[in-house]
């Protein structure tokens, strides 16, 4: 018996070693972000395989309260990319009122609008838009007394959203609208990164927030984050899924004045396109790059013109951190290191991760006086409030604006761009994301004319179009598209992002 015990004791270590060898030889899946999940989180036109179209709009009306909020009216724009007409259902959802149901008839290959303020005056209103066919797209024009912007709604709900840049200085109001369109409550956590700290910051008050089913909540970031020029935010749902808007205003008390409203992005990518930016004496541009991963990443930020890629700057972004790259004119003197230099005018920008780490990128565009707390503009450029807190009228001819928008991740062969009725011209930028020459065709809904252009490898071009236009942009290779509009006399700088067609519609 003792001999058998000794044999068993000697055999046991050998069996353990053999088991370890076999275990190491077994192929195990690598824990990494699924590429298909990235694609699924991109906003896109519902494809032919879909029987319906569903869109989620976090902000379709906002009423300013005594101590908080911003007044914004929204024009809901519904585009039907299919040939047959459809009847769209619009559900208005508010934390303080019962749900409203509205209907909108949209002909084929056309856009129709709905003025939400004609139907509600609640403090905060979100919308769920449904159509019984595929191919419907929903976007918004948001207007306030200090500016306007254009934002897409979302075709997806996601468990993680990125807001690339906000500002919490004394003259700024930085807000998130978190919308839960699902029938069960969601629980979310928020974390932040800024230019003054290394790594992420989390406020205990913004951990485990409950977003009720079929409702929205409003978060004022400045109540939880110190005064900062740049704050990136991540909204992560530990339970459920949500949709997020970012609202940013500059009140004019230091000089800068503007209103930006855009859908956050649920996508990270190794390449981001900014097809059209405008740089000039009265037009400023900055590029933001956020790193949502736990490793340092190297990024190239490059100016793109009709000749292709030209000037660039290399940066590194730490784990869960954010970096800002200012774009300056090549005519300026004393340009700081790390600044991207460009010829004034219109051009594109491409942001590329050189080591394959996915990042998030956006552009902050601004016009008019640029004074900020501690560096105010001349007194004649300041916009002050009276004793009742209402704003005085803008000086005649004053041009100003603000728009903070994510870039375009991952080019596509097909896009739809909905441009609202805006005063003046709209500039559309098209960027070739491939090493091959691109043949691009632009078709306007309701018009017979078609415009064709050719773009060289990695080249970009900007064209001017009239406002109130819906167009399809098709290409034989992957391209990126965006538009920008500056109100000629007044406050209003809008970045208009397109929506890509899904794979089966290319």
- Give the number of residues written for the chain: 506
Q: Is 398 exposed, middle or buried (0-12, 13-18, 19+ CB in 10 A)?
A: middle
Torsions phi, psi for 2 (to 5 deg): -65, -35
Long-range contacts made by residues 437-444, C-beta under 8 angstroms, separation at least 24? 437/477, 438/475, 438/476, 438/477, 438/479, 439/475, 439/476, 440/473, 440/474, 440/475, 440/479, 441/473, 441/474, 441/475, 442/471, 442/472, 442/473, 443/471, 443/472, 443/474, 444/469, 444/470, 444/471
> Pairing between strand 297-305 and 340-342?
unpaired
Positive or negative, the CA dihedral 495, 501, 502, 503 is negative
- Kind and range of the H or E run holding 10: helix 2-25
Residue environment code for 188-224, b if the CB has 16+ CB neighbours within 10 A, otherwise e: bebbbbbeeeeebbeeeebeebebeebbbbbbbbbeb
In this structure, how many other beta carbons lie within 10 angstroms of the beta carbon of residue 231?
A: 28
pLDDT at 285: 97
Q: Sort residue 214 into left (φ over 0), alpha (ψ -120 to 50) or beta.
A: left
Beta strand spans in 379-459 (E): 401-406, 408-409, 412-418, 426-432, 438-444, 450-455
Question: How far apart (Å, rounded) are the C-alpha atoms in residues 470 and 486?
Answer: 18
With CA atoms as reference, report the closest residue to 139 among 293, 261, 268, 5: 261
Regions in the chain scoring below 70 on pLDDT: 1-40, 65-69, 385-393, 504-506
* Contact by Cβ (8 Å): 331, 264: no
pLDDT at 69: 66
Partnered with residue 453 across adjacent β-strands are 440
In this structure, how many other beta carbons lie within 10 angstroms of the beta carbon of residue 254?
A: 23
Question: How far apart (Å, rounded) are the C-alpha atoms in residues 85 and 300?
Answer: 45
With CA atoms as reference, report the closest residue to 347 among 427, 441, 440, 451: 427
pLDDT at 384: 74
CA triplet 413, 414, 417: central angle to 5 degrees?
140
Question: How far apart (Å, rounded) are the C-alpha atoms in residues 31 and 293?
Answer: 13
* pTM score: 0.89
Question: How far apart (Å, rounded) are the C-alpha atoms in residues 115 and 318?
Answer: 43
């Amino acid at each position: 018996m003792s001999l058998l015990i000794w044999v068993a004791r000697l055999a046991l270590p050998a069996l353990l070693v053999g088991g370890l060898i076999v275990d190491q030889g077994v192929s195990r899946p690598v824990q990494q972000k699924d590429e298909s999940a990235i694609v699924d989180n991109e906003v896109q036109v519902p494809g032919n395989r879909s029987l319906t179209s569903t869109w989620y709009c976090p902000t379709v009306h906002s009423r300013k309260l005594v101590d908080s909020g911003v007044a914004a009216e929204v024009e809901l724009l519904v585009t039907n990319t299919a040939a047959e007409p459809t009847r769209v259902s619009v559900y208005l959802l508010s934390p303080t009122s019962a749900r409203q149901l509205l209907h909108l008839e949209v002909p084929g290959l056309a856009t129709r609008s709905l003025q939400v303020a004609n139907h509600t005056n609640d403090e905060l209103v979100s919308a769920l838009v449904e159509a019984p066919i595929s191919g419907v797209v929903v976007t918004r024009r948001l207007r306030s007394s200090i500016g306007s912007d254009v934002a897409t709604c979302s075709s997806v709900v996601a468990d993680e959203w990125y807001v690339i840049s906000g500002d919490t200085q004394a003259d700024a109001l930085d807000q998130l609208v978190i919308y839960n369109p699902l029938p069960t409550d969601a629980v979310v956590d928020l974390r932040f990164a800024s230019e003054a700290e290394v790594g992420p910051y989390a406020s205990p008050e913004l951990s485990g927030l409950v977003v009720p089913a079929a409702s929205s909540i409003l978060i004022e970031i400045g109540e939880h984050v110190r005064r900062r020029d740049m704050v990136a935010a991540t909204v992560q749902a530990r339970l459920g899924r949500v949709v997020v808007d970012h609202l940013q205003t500059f009140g004019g008390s230091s000089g800068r004045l503007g209103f930006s409203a855009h859908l956050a992005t649920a996508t990270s990518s190794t390449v981001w396109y900014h097809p059209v930016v405008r740089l000039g004496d009265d037009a400023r541009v900055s590029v933001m790059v956020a790193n949502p991963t736990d490793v340092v990443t190297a990024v190239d930020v490059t100016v793109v013109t009709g000749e292709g890629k030209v000037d660039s700057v290399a940066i590194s972004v730490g784990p869960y951190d954010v970096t800002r790259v200012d774009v300056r004119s090549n005519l300026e003197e004393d340009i700081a290191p790390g600044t991207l230099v460009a010829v004034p005018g219109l051009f594109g920008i491409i942001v590329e991760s050189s080591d394959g780490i996915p990042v998030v990128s956006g552009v902050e565009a601004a016009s008019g006086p640029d004074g900020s707390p501690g560096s105010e503009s001349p007194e004649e450029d300041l916009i002050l409030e009276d004793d009742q807190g209402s704003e005085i009228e803008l000086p005649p001819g004053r041009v100003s604006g603000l728009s903070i928008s994510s870039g375009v991740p991952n080019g596509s062969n097909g896009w739809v761009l909905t441009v609202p009725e805006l005063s003046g011209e709209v500039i559309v930028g098209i960027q070739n994301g491939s090493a091959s020459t691109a043949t691009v065709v632009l078709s306007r809904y309701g018009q017979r004319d078609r415009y064709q252009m050719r773009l060289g490898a990695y080249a970009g071009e900007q064209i001017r179009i009239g406002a109130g236009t819906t167009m399809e942009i098709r290409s034989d290779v992957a391209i990126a598209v965006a538009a920008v509009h500056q109100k000629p006399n007044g406050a209003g700088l809008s970045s208009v992002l397109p929506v890509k067609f899904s794979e089966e519609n290319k």
